[in-house]
Amino acid sequence: MITQTISSLSMRLRNLAASACVVGLACGIYVLAPYNRAQVHDLYRLGSFEFSGAAFLLSAACAYVLGLSIYYLVDTRPEASKSLRSFAAIVAFARSPLAAIRRGLDRADRVALLTTLLKGFFAPFMAMALMQHTVGALDNGLAITSEWSMDFGVLEMFNRHGFRLTLKMILFVDVALFTVGYLVEVPRLRNEIRSVDPTLLGWAAAMLCYPPFNRITGAVLGSNVTDFPQFDDPTTHLILNLLLLLLMTLYASASVALGLKASNLTHRGIVARGPYAWVRHPAYAAKNMAWWIGSIPLVSAAFAESTFTGVSALASVIGWTMLYVLRALTEEDHLRSVDDAYAAYATRVRHRFIPGVV
């Protein structure tokens, strides 16, 4: 009995140490990376509190490790965490590279390594994005409150703060769910990561949409999209931007449907509720249609300059859309390869992006 208790305590402490090391490494790399310099050193304000991005990330990391401590201590059946498995695999490789290569990784260790890499990359990025969307929403909300008594028309208030407040709130919901999805993985919540896409193509398609890798995508494809497109006709301007917000709401609703299973490149069970009952990739479809609306002014201006410039701008938008099509295809290949239930789901929900069309 005493031996089992000591063994159980040892496993809890090793899990906590391994997870804390992953958190520390992920946050350290994020803070030191040159491409994150602005986000890390910029000052943000929440009410009377002013803080830097680095201070927020450090505080969030400490709070997360504290939460992990509580989780591991109360876990009734402690087993080796994915972080601990990853470190064990790395140590085994460091001690005897040739033997480790000959032996290879079993499926559990491969999933553990890929999960650790995935969380290490996305968790700090999502946490910072969540903070920025929170600050942006509060700033615009307070601005509307302070200017409410001023003689602004509905359209002017929409342009000044209303659009940005609504968009920030929509993005807050989306990013909050993905942040929790990356940070929380509990079998009892049925959101355990069962598989991570092991293919280079799948990872490349996903990573090229996020910094710093999207700089490569932008250099190749260009960028002709704005979050808040401006149109000369007030009615057109209002209608198209409201449609853009509606599409982004649909985008966020897909994240709500995923719930605690929200994360990239993973299989955590097939989700067929919400917009996933109508199409297989509602988030990608809605986001790209919103981008197409956001591209109209820039593409129109490019065509006004010259036909070649206009075609180049249009090709840029199409190129970004094709990248998301590739993401959808690689995700489906991954899910089909690890879960027969996905084939049944794809048979039932026949269209990928637009009901009855494609």
CB 280 within 8 A of CB 328: yes
What kind and span of H or E run contains 45? strand 43-46
HSE (side-chain half, CA atoms, 13 Å) at 31: 16
Q: pLDDT value at position 99?
A: 79
Residue 98, CA distances (Å) to 94, 109, 110, 230 in order: 10, 17, 17, 60
Residue 82, CA distances (Å) to 37, 74, 112, 132, 137 in order: 30, 18, 4, 29, 35
Q: Is 234 helix (H, G, I), strand (E, B) or coil?
A: helix
Spatial CB neighbours of 170, under 8 Å, sequence gap ≥ 6 = 245, 248, 249, 251, 252
Q: pLDDT value at position 3?
A: 44
CA–CA separation, 183 vs 190, rounded Å? 14
Q: What residue ranges of the chain have pLDDT lower than 50?
A: 1-5
Q: pLDDT value at position 125?
A: 97
Q: pLDDT value at position 7?
A: 56
- Longest Cα–Cα distance in the chain: 80
Q: How many beta carbons lie within 10 A of that of residue 323, not counting itself?
A: 21
Q: In 129-277, where do the E strands start and end?
A: 195-196, 266-267
CATH, range 186-358: 1.20.120.1630
pLDDT, tens digit (0-9, with 9 covering 90-100), for 137-163 = 999 999 998 888 777 788 899 999 999
